[in-house]
Chain A
Amino acid sequence: GESVGLHLPTLSVQEGDNSIINCAYSNSASDYFIWYKQESGKGPQFIIDIRSNMDKRQGQRVTVLLNKTVKHLSLQIAATQPGDSAVYFCAENIGGNQFYFGTGTSLTVIP
């Protein structure tokens, strides 16, 4: 079946540094991806999305890169802040707004 996985379960970065969180997906038919941030005790928060006809999309301090050749996504966070500490999930949509989530990467920002 389809699966979404993350290469690194945990990531620690110094405040002010850039963070890169990676995600591998297995379904080549997936045409839409979302990165979510989930803080403890809260629901996932939409960060940024990208469609399969794009390679890169930028938001405020965040950039998502999509490499369809190797079925890989990454989320880059610039100038990481303590408030960025959370678990990050990538989710893939293979159709009908049904999303598959990976297990997540826990990001810790060291002040």
Chain B
Amino acid sequence: DAGVTQSPTHLIKTRGQQVTLRCSPKSGHDTVSWYQQALGQGPQFIFQYYEEEERQRGNFPDRFSGHQFPNYSSELNVNALLLGDSALYLCASSLASGNEQFFGPGTRLTVL
């Protein structure tokens, strides 16, 4: 039973560029949440997708957008990258009917 997977593992971009990160949820899970974790900090909630729609959103600008596909996988898109967007981006999956949330290994984004 595969857990949550994310790609790529690492990514380097320059300011102003756009990036797309990908996530496949744990088998059987239908809800995907994205978090940003800056160095030395706890994860910060970006948004959550369920039934291909954004269901909840944290305090992040519109430069952060996402998508969920019919197979429940998800993408996180960040436009007009800033230096401060450098972080570990985590995907977590869960069941809409449950609370347990499991994380993937994350994508380390570096913006130069």
Contact = CB atoms under 8 A, between A and B. Distances in A.
Interface of A: 4, 32, 34, 36, 42-46, 49, 51, 89, 91, 93, 96-104
Interface of B: 4, 6, 31, 33, 35, 40-45, 48, 55-56, 58, 90, 94, 96, 99-106
B44 A97 contact: no
Nearest to B43: A101
B4 to A, nearest CB: 8
Contacts of A96: 48, 55-56
Contacts of A43: 4, 6, 90, 103-106
Contact of A98 (B6, B40, B45, B105): B45
A97 B103 contact: no
Contacts of B90: 43-44
B44 A101 contact: yes
A97 B43 contact: no
